[in-house]
Structure 1
């Protein structure tokens, strides 16, 4: 069996495909590890007396553009006033 046959099966570059699959698998493993690390940080925050739900809201807000945050707060305020809250 020659090298070209090993690397190209049915028009598919087998080595390239294997490389891509293995990279995705490594990244998925890293994502699992990071998820565990994030949960640990939230546990630490909770044990320090912080409200984890509020921290998650703050993280979400920090990802948004300031104008978008301001618009949402304005709408939320209007809805609260309409409901008498």
Structure 2
């Protein structure tokens, strides 16, 4: 393999390699944290869903939850929840 002779390219490659190593380390830390939470009785799958929801803008999350309620109701999975006073 030919040696990289462009010093700027070499710096970019080395920087990317360092960042990839850091990313792997962070990924390992996240996995360890989920495992620690699991050992304390928490469900990592649910925690991942919560993290995903927290990343969403509030209006997108509310819209998704409303649609989920509509779909569950349409499938008979649960009653559509009505605000107080609406059913009266």
Q: Same fold (TM over 0.5)?
A: yes
Query: Which blocks of at least 5 consecutive residues in structure 1 are unaligned?
Result: 1-8
Partner of 1:61: 53
TM-score (norm: length of structure 2): 0.81
Report which of the two has the higher share of strand: 1
Partner of 1:6: none
CA RMSD of aligned residues (A): 0.8
Query: Which blocks of at least 5 consecutive residues in structure 2 are unaligned?
Result: 78-88
Report which of the two has the higher share of helix: 1
